[in-house]
Amino acid sequence: MTSPEAPPPKNPMSGAERIAAYLKTLPDSPGVYRMMNAAGDVLYVGKAKSLKKRVSSYALRGAHNERISHMIAETTEMLFVTTASETDALLLESNLIKRLKPRYNVSYRDDKSFPNILLREDHPFPQLLKHRGAKTIKGIYFGPFANAGAVNRTLNTLQRAFLLRSCSDSVFESRTRPCLLFQIKRCSAPCVNRIDLAGYHELAEEAESFLKGKSQSVQDELKTEMTTASDAMDFEAAAKLRDRLKAMSHIQSSQGVNPSTFDEADLFAAHAEGGQTCIQVFFFRAGQNWGNWPYFPRHDRDLPLAEVLESFVGQFYDERTAPGLILTSEELPGRVLLAEALGTRAQQKVEIAMPQRGEKRDIMERALTNAREQLGRRMAENSAQTQLLEGVADVFALEAPPRRIEVYDNSHIQGAHALGAFIVAGPEGFEKGQYRKFNIKNEELTPGDDYAMMREVLTRRFARMVKEDASSAEDTTHWRRPDLVLIDGGPGQLSIASQVFADLGVEDVALVGISKGPDRDAGREHFYMPGKEPFRLDPKSPILYYLQRLRDEAHRFVIGGHRKKRSAAIGANPLDEIAGVGAGRKRALLQHFGSARAVAGASLTDLASVGGVSEILARKIFDFFHSGG
């Protein structure tokens, strides 16, 4: 992938005249182009089989619809990248649209990673667990599942069906008697030898076959075993096999539509109404429905639905591997090229098809019903949300309804495990992917000093925003400027926030403090704004209820983070930090001395007397506790 000569030097020209100035230097080859305005914002990213021919079309006057005409008029600069093929251009275009989110392209928030089920193969007794992220652990991955709820329900039922362990290696190695999961028949307790290695591997192989779509053969084998056990009067074994069969049936019945004409596919059902679009994505693997998730891409109201869906599919697989079959509710104009591009990235043949009849069409119709109903709910919610934000603007005398509200809160117990955080809300409700936590780092801070905590959190957050503003970063989604900042507190907290904003030169961000009323009663909150008298809202006001929800969400988020931090500190064991002290030696040391504190006070000779602890390791443990490790 190479770039052509640098574009012509900047000049005051814009629109079609400016675009025409690039034509002399553009090659007749595939590539990607970016159209930018005077502020340097990317307006549009496009691909072309021939950059010269594609860009020349923008220089023609009077040949475009209103949307394209506005885009051309705003263009003052263009950037180009040539590629080896049109397929490469499509892949690069999808990547840039997803990253830059240009105003005139179809774009959507894609902060969701889908979970998988992992059957580990790096341990003698394979573990069955939920997994997100890079597939670096050796094992067999099954997924994606549409959401954590779907994978958790499936995992719980798989445990009942196949009795595989879900515990971590350290817990597995430290067990001396079966845990509760064994008692409720969700684990075969290999940790305490209630099942031998061969028997456990047989269960693991059955689970693998089931997840790969061979559910009927697995069930048939278990039915045969159950009949044999019953005939032999071994009713306890027959009952266990019966319970496992019931669990497998539950998995299949809870998945809804399970196709018989294909094993693996992703399905995209798009419905548009009122200038908005919902795209329902369904995942089918091993002949089973593994859930669905709705998306609401941002796009021009007049853009054809097929173009919206095609752009969405390209961006959806920018960081994901496409399956062999992709079903769409619309005939995509660039279907052949898109299939080739996704196949290149997935290193397998990918087919994109619009079902016309039969089972695939029936499933698509059900998915379209889901998309239509989801969009209806979304539009109703957005209408109410818009009214609430307009009310917030009236209450706080803002120039326009806020598009980004940040709400700040702190949490600690007598100064310990101090944590600050903010949540984000806007026209689409809570934007949980934008929430942030801050561990309080100032060691000189007086324990429990809420003012100093708030100062640190606000300074760190808005210093990052100011830095990004100064560097003109293309992607500032994490630290972009809010329209309204709500502080959980009264005049003191508000004064601190005002000082931080003044020190950093932050302007045009409204600041409001919210303090609970007498006896901390909800509905009697006082609101504080710089230069204004405190005021209250009608206890029955929907705006007050909305602001309470924002404050309560911030409180929930920071309290949750504080509890995790406190639990981690409580559960931490200094022995875990010593190289060479694994689960077995840790257990031996704790059984010998009774506690980590007793280990820390033990002599070198006492440490070396523990079974499995060599003199070298004893010296390492002793030095860790007596010389700072």
As a three-state string, the secondary structure of 364-405 is HHHHHHHHHHHHHHHHHHHHHHHHHHHHHHHHCCCCCCCCCE
CA dihedral 222, 226, 229, 230 (to 10 degrees): -170
C-alpha neighbours within 13 Å on the C-beta side of residue 453: 27
pLDDT of residue 9: 44
State yes or no: pLDDT of 32 exceeds 90. Answer: yes
Tell me the β-bridge partners of 205. Answer: none
Tokens at 132, concatenated: 């997100």
Q: Which residue has the higher pLDDT, 380 or 413?
A: 380
Q: Which of 405, 534, 454 is nearest to 525 (CA)?
A: 534
pLDDT of residue 239: 75
State yes or no: pLDDT of 196 exceeds 60. Answer: yes
pLDDT of residue 474: 47
Can you tell me the mean pLDDT for 613-620? 87
Distance, CA of 261 to CA of 134 (rounded, Å): 31
Q: Which residues are CB-neighbours of 451 under 8 A, at least 6 positions away?
A: 492, 493, 496
pLDDT of residue 263: 83
Can you tell me the mean pLDDT for 519-540? 81
Q: Which of 107, 129, 97, 98 is nearest to 116 (CA)?
A: 129
Question: Taking a C-beta distance cutoff of 8 angstroms, is the pair 120, 137 a contact?
Answer: yes
What would the pLDDT profile of 2-21 be if each residue is shown by its tens digit?
444 444 444 457 788 899 99
In degrees, rounded to 5, the angle at the alpha carbon of residue 112 between the alpha carbons of residues 111 and 118 is 140
Q: Which domains does the chain have, with CATH numbers?
A: 15-100 (3.40.1440.10), 116-254 (no CATH), 265-377 (3.30.420.10), 405-569 (3.30.420.340), 574-626 (1.10.150.20)
pLDDT of residue 256: 53
State yes or no: pLDDT of 113 exceeds 90. Answer: no
State yes or no: pLDDT of 502 exceeds 70. Answer: yes
C-alpha neighbours within 13 Å on the C-beta side of residue 48: 22
The mean-pLDDT minimum among 323-332, 451-460, 506-515, 557-566 falls in 557-566
What would the pLDDT profile of 226-251 be if each residue is shown by its tens digit?
888 777 787 777 777 777 777 666 55
Can you tell me the mean pLDDT for 331-354? 94
Distance, CA of 460 to CA of 454 (rounded, Å): 10
State yes or no: pLDDT of 348 exceeds 50. Answer: yes
Would you tell me how many other CB atoms lie within 10 Å of the CB of residue 193?
8
Q: What is the band of 629 on the pLDDT scale with cuts at 50, 70, 90?
A: very low
pLDDT of residue 417: 64
State yes or no: pLDDT of 628 exceeds 60. Answer: no
Question: Taking a C-beta distance cutoff of 8 angstroms, is the pair 512, 529 a contact?
Answer: yes
Would you tell me how many other CB atoms lie within 10 Å of the CB of residue 548?
16
Question: Taking a C-beta distance cutoff of 8 angstroms, is the pair 54, 91 a contact?
Answer: no
Q: What is the band of 603 on the pLDDT scale with cuts at 50, 70, 90?
A: confident
Distance, CA of 83 to CA of 252 (rounded, Å): 46
pLDDT of residue 473: 43
Q: Which residue has the higher pLDDT, 520 or 27?
A: 27
Task: Fill in the DSSP letter of residue 446.
Answer: P
Can you tell me the mean pLDDT for 379-394? 87
Can you tell me the mean pLDDT for 462-476? 66
pLDDT of residue 550: 92
The mean-pLDDT minimum among 79-93, 238-252, 518-532 falls in 238-252
Q: Which of 611, 485, 615, 110 is nearest to 318 (CA)?
A: 110
Question: Taking a C-beta distance cutoff of 8 angstroms, is the pair 80, 54 a contact?
Answer: no
What would the pLDDT profile of 530-586 be if each residue is shown by its tens digit?
989 999 998 888 899 899 989 989 988 888 776 666 655 555 567 777 877 887 888
Distance, CA of 380 to CA of 107 (rounded, Å): 22
State yes or no: pLDDT of 475 exceeds 50. Answer: no
State yes or no: pLDDT of 269 exceeds 90. Answer: yes
State yes or no: pLDDT of 520 exceeds 60. Answer: no
Q: Which of 466, 451, 536, 537 is nearest to 497 (CA)?
A: 451
Question: Taking a C-beta distance cutoff of 8 angstroms, is the pair 238, 223 a contact?
Answer: no
pLDDT of residue 109: 76
Distance, CA of 463 to CA of 466 (rounded, Å): 5
Q: Which residues are CB-neighbours of 220 under 8 A, at least 6 positions away?
A: none
Q: Which residue has the higher pLDDT, 243 or 623?
A: 623
pLDDT of residue 212: 75
Q: Average model confidence (pLDDT) for the chain?
A: 84
The mean-pLDDT minimum among 298-302, 331-335, 362-366, 415-419 falls in 415-419
Q: What is the band of 622 on the pLDDT scale with cuts at 50, 70, 90?
A: confident
3-state helix, strand, coil in the chain (%, to 5): 45, 15, 35
